[in-house]
Amino acid sequence: MADDDATTPWLIVGLGNPGGEYAGNRHNIGFMVADLLAERIGGRFKAHKARAQVVEGRIGPPGPANRRVVLAKPMSFMNLSGGPVTALRDFYKVPVDRIVAVHDELDIDYATLRLKLGGGDNGHNGLKSMTKSLGPDYHRVRCGIGRPPGRMQVADFVLKDFSSSERKELDWFVDRSADAVECLVLEGLERAQSAYNA
């Protein structure tokens, strides 16, 4: 099993929409976390035939304790994320319980994290598409963005950039989310939940 642990990669999927006009949107926090993880492992995203950008590398200390990871940003738009993720799963031969979706979550307060395995999609189009393709049994790192103010529509809220007050905490929040992904991969879900679930 230990040998399998070392060779079978984890597929860490940051959910978002491709294109500069979406880069700072609340819906794109998954991309932001994936970008930071790529920076940490010293990798650059490259186009993959699965309609995604990917970085391959290892996280964790040098030696047997580290883990092989594939970081991915689907380039298909959020509501079609399942196609690229399934193609990457097949290409890298990743079991579903080693897939991690990093995504924005309306039902959690801003800058709050929750990690879990499986569950519903809670109306999130990226998760809906992934679950349709893979089933529900993948890990989620849920990055809280809070609810829209007043009567603002959810779709408008998630496709807006973070507010100036939110941006003051955004770097810290993305950094903490990346830490939580690393903890999940290296130490397991229970340890990551007790460290990062608020």
- Write down the catalytic residue from 27, 103, 124, 139: 27
Maximum Cα interatomic distance, the chain, rounded to a whole number of Å: 53
User: Which residues lie across from 116 on neighbouring strands?
Assistant: 140
- Active site includes 27? yes
Give the other-Cβ count within 10 Å of 130's Cβ: 28
Give the other-Cβ count within 10 Å of 63's Cβ: 6
Question: Which helix (H) or strand (E) is 34 found in, with range?
Answer: helix 29-41
SS3 readout for 118-158: CCCCCCCHHHHHHHHHHCCCCEEEEEECCCCCCCCCHHHHH
Active site residues: 27
